[in-house]
Every structure is written in C-alpha cells, then in structure tokens.
Amino acid sequence: MPTHRHEYYPPLVEEQYYHIYNRGNNGDNIFYQDRNYTYFLQKYDYYLSPYLETYAFCLLPNHFHLLVRIKAFSSLLETEKKLHSGTEYITVPERIISELFRRFFMSYAKSIKVQEQRTGSLFEKNFRRKWVNSDQYFTALVAYIHRNPQAHGMCTDFTQYPYSSYQRITDPKPTRLMKQSVLNWFGGSEPYYQFHQNCGQSGLIDDLIIDD
C-alpha cells in the first residue's frame, strides 16, 4: 500500500500529468474578492505557464485544483532549463517546478497579506499532487475539478461557477488553457457537456477526492 507521502507527493516528472491541489493554512480562505481570482491566474501564468500545460482548473475560496502536464524540458529555452536560487543554479526538472510553485505561492500570498492585513502562512506548506496515470483518471478528473464548487455547496449549478475552466474550455477566445485538447479528448463539446452531467450521477468521480 502506498504511503501518504508517496500518494500525495510523487516526483514531478516531465511529460506526465498531475492533479495539483492546495488550500489555505488551517483551512482559511485564500481568495477574498473577485479580483483575487484574476490575480491568482495572472501570477500562475507568469510563473508556471512556460513549464506546464493546463487542462482544467477550479478556484474556491479556501482551495484550488489544477490538472496539468509538465512540458518536456528539451522543448524549453536554454534560459528556462535552469533556475537561480540563492547561491546555486537548479537544473533538475522536478526541483525547478517545485521552486516555481513556491515562488508563485509567495508572490500571491504577499499581495493577500497586504490586502487583508494578515500575517503568517497563507497556504499549507506542501502542495499535494497525484499522478494521473490512466485515461479514465484524466477523463473523470476534468469533471471532478469542474464539479467541485457544487460538491462544496458554493453554488447550485457548477456550470455557472465563474472561477473554473468549465465554460472557458468551450469559449473560442485564445488562451493558454489547453481547451481544444480537452474537447478533442471528449469527442467535442456535446460529449464534454454530457459527461459532466452524467458522471455526477454515476459516482465515477467519488474516488478522486483529495481535499479533505
């Protein structure tokens, strides 16, 4: 049986898919105003989009979910294959991704601490991730992430929740979100819609919960 650390903190390997999750320290909120959600996505784009492909996301008041693929480091610019930290250069892909998440969290938290006049850690220290190791897992995970607001009682209809990628995936406006890849995976927009509705009734996503 895998240990808790092995299950929730696997190595971050290039060209692999992961479900990434983190929440506020002690369950506190990490988003307080509408603008915080936008700012979070802007910071995420700045720090991590060169290294990750994003297939789904959902931001809730006290936690967030991401479905990402780590890009092949051979495809990156030479300047992106190493990261200066203190007195050393980080060149190991896993360490680079972890360090960039750390910087992303710190940058976002700094703004929220000023806004809310708070001290201490905003996020839990270690962000959880699970390796997405099958096609079935990937398919169900997209729906799990998008249905999360309704599961937590944040809304009565997850399709109308404004801070997830559910509606964005069918929006033709160009973004870094891998929307066409997701639609192709489901076989088009109609199968995409139908799966999201049906999986909530079938219990397909019940085993994916990691935010307890």
Are 53 and 69 contacting, i.e. CB atoms less than 8 angstroms apart?
Answer: yes
Strand pairing class (88-90; 128-131): unpaired
Which sequence spans correspond to the domains of the chain? 4-208
Domain 4-208 has CATH 3.30.930.10: no
- The tens digit of pLDDT for each residue in 135-191 reads 999 999 999 999 999 999 999 999 999 999 999 999 999 999 999 999 999 999 999
d(CA 19, CA 1): 20
150: CB partners within 8 A, 6+ apart: 156, 157, 158, 161, 200
Q: Is the pTM of this model over 0.85?
A: yes
Token pair belonging to 1: 């049986």
